[in-house]
Amino acid sequence: MLFCPKCGSLMKPCLEGKKRILVCGCGYKTSKIGETTLKETISKESKLHIDVVEEEKTAHPLVDKECPKCGYKKAYFWEIQTRAADEPATQFFKCKKCKHTWRHYD
């Protein structure tokens, strides 16, 4: 690593034509790399790992609310501000049993 003598920032390698130089964000450039070896490698060994989510996990509180679809008496609850800031938030419920989601406006 080389640091800029002008501002102290880290110098980054860059190509200017076919010549490799070091450039700083402040505008300072130098071709005097010295005994520093610049090496760029791209590893193909890192494998992208994708997790498949079978079931949605939520951290919403469980409240006593009757589902209008199946009549079950427990539902998850959350609020979102869907209208203007001077109006109350919209309440959402999701039935624990049948997963039906509905909203309630105050």
Looking at the annotation, which residues are catalytic? 86-87
Q: Could you give phi then psi for residue 101, rounded to 5 degrees?
A: -115, 135
What's the rounded Cα separation, in Å, for the pair 14 and 37?
A: 13
One DSSP character per residue, 2-37 reads -B-TTT-PBPEEEEETTEEEEE-TTS-EE---TTPP
Q: List Cβ neighbours of 88 (8 Å cut-off, separation of 6 or more).
A: 105, 106
